[in-house]
Amino acid sequence: MKDFKDDLEEVLDRASSAGITHIITVGIDIPSSLKALELANRYDFIYSSIGYHPHNAENTNFKRLEELSRLALEKKVVAWGEIGLDFFRKRSSPEKQIEVFEQQLDMASQFNLPIIVHNRDAHSEVLDILRKKGNKGRGGVIHCFSGDYDIAMAFIDMGYYISIPGTVTYKNAIKVQDVASRIPIDRILVETDAPFLAPVPKRGKRNEPLYVTHTAQKIAQLRDMDFEEFALKTSENAKRLFGFNRKKTSG
Ligand SMILES: [Zn+2]
């Protein structure tokens, strides 16, 4: 995003000096998917996803989705997303969001890619759709998870991972703290959602990959775990889900 146009190199240096070994940068439409892939091709430790975010569902069509499927075979593309439903902002109509979500679930399965799911105020609809035609092959992650423990477990029971953002460090974030402290350790991921949702002590500032360490520290503390061990576990989870250097099938 343009928030990083002036100091991208420094941001990435800070992240890798702090021990961050893999970054996934996401696509939300065609131009951003192309940019994400271009970045991934420039840096060894960056990978990309491709997809149409529910906000942009209204702007897509069969031809544009076909264009994405050409990118799906690229070596550094490790996931299909962000896809999903956003009934909070409703920048696209719910009907169109559902249609584009379902089409992309089929495409992710076809290319054997895990999915990155964006879900805002649409927990039961997302659960229903994944139950009906979820990504059986590779599963995926519910990113920036905002539901409660029971909803988290419903996704986990279907084989999905839950990703916890910086909001877990906020004082009154009782629900996400409860989820982060109780879900199984082998199903939890951490993320920045940079440039958004910076964790304490950077709350309100631009978020960047380095700050995921604050998020991980907070969750380790909530779980009464050693930080190093928590970091290792969540890294293993990410590698299991995204299989960073695995060979692709041809779709
Ligand atoms: Zn999102």
Residues, CB within 5 angstroms of ligand 1 (ion):
82, 118
At 46, is the secondary structure helix, strand, or coil?
A: strand
Quickly count: other Cβ atoms within 10 Å of residue 126's Cβ.
24
| Cα 215 to middle of ligand 1, angstroms | 17
Per-residue confidence of the chain (251 residues) as pLDDT tens digits? Answer: 899 999 999 999 999 999 999 999 999 999 999 999 999 999 999 999 999 999 999 999 889 999 999 999 999 999 999 999 999 988 999 999 999 999 999 999 999 999 999 999 999 999 999 999 877 779 999 999 999 999 999 999 999 999 999 999 999 999 999 999 999 999 999 999 999 999 999 999 999 999 999 999 999 999 999 999 999 999 999 999 999 976 665 54
Q: Residue 207 burial (CB < 10 Å; 0-12/13-18/19+)?
A: buried
Instruction: Say how many Å lie between the CA of residue 99 and the centre of ligand 1.
Output: 18
* Contact residues for 182 (Cβ-Cβ < 8 A; gap 6+): 149
Q: What is the DSSP letter of 87?
A: T
What stretch of H or E contains 140? strand 140-142
The tokens describing 180, both together, are 């982060």
